[in-house]
Amino acid sequence: MTEEKIMLKLKNINKSFQDLTVLKNLDLEINQGEICCLLGPSGSGKTTLFRIAAGLEKADSGEVIKKNDPRFAYVFQSPRLLPWKNAEENLTFVQKNYGLESEKSLRDLLFRLAKLENFKAAYPDELSGGMQQRLELIRAFAVKPDLVFLDEPFKSLDMKTRMNLRKLITVIQAETGITLFLITHDPEEALLLADRIYIMAAEKQGIIKEIKIEKARERRKISDPELYQHLENIMEIFSDLVSDLEDAGAEIKRLF
């Protein structure tokens, strides 16, 4: 990967919390215009890495290099909307930081894409959870970011809403070239969305595998041989817990 194409680079990142080492000598690179996924079980350090990459937390050592000081936005697992502002005011509030509050046409487009055009005057507590998350997503794109950090943005949503929001971000990304950095627990979601997947494991304090996917996003199906093979490989990596449970079968039977 040439330096000119790199949007975000992490070099030799180390992070511990008291006696617990979370990240050790971690390296990661993301190209401009990529959708990159961090995939791994809970406790593998994904959110810690994310917060370090976004500048929300400091590493104990190592470097975080962002190309040309990009404008970035962060979408949290749960919406962080301003409850005292209505839906449109939530967008204009963040746009003001970049002198974009006059771009009503951009806000109108985002509300239409998220199917929230009839709820601009609604306050967050008047919206369903899925609608709040849609608003959270379009608020991130309202600042015309170069890089968006998405920390499990679909985690608590139903399947239909997840599918619609995945489509929403991929359409915006395809037309704008915005770089997306996404955390997910879902291997299928990672394979359908990402150009590059980094798999993390707690016992290794970092990344254990990198997967690159060349197939065009709109033509991907999990049943395709290439993606299905990747899925099998990922499930094999995550099979340690299953093996431990199978080994404990006799003891479970005896104690229960």
Residue 243 pLDDT level (bands cut at 50, 70, 90)? low
CB 187 within 8 A of CB 233: no
pLDDT score recorded for residue 117: 94
**pLDDT digit string (tens) for 25-56?**
889 889 999 999 998 877 777 888 888 988 88
Three-state secondary-structure class, residue 45: coil
pLDDT score recorded for residue 163: 84
Q: Which residues contact 2 (CB under 8 A, 6 or more apart)?
A: none
Domains (range + CATH), the chain: 6-219 (3.40.50.300)
For the entire predicted model, the pTM comes to 0.85
**pLDDT digit string (tens) for 135-183?**
999 999 999 999 999 988 887 778 888 888 888 888 889 889 999 999 8
Pairing of strands 196-201, 147-151: unpaired
Of 204 and 145, the structure prediction assigns the larger pLDDT to 145
**How is residue 114 annotated by DSSP?**
T
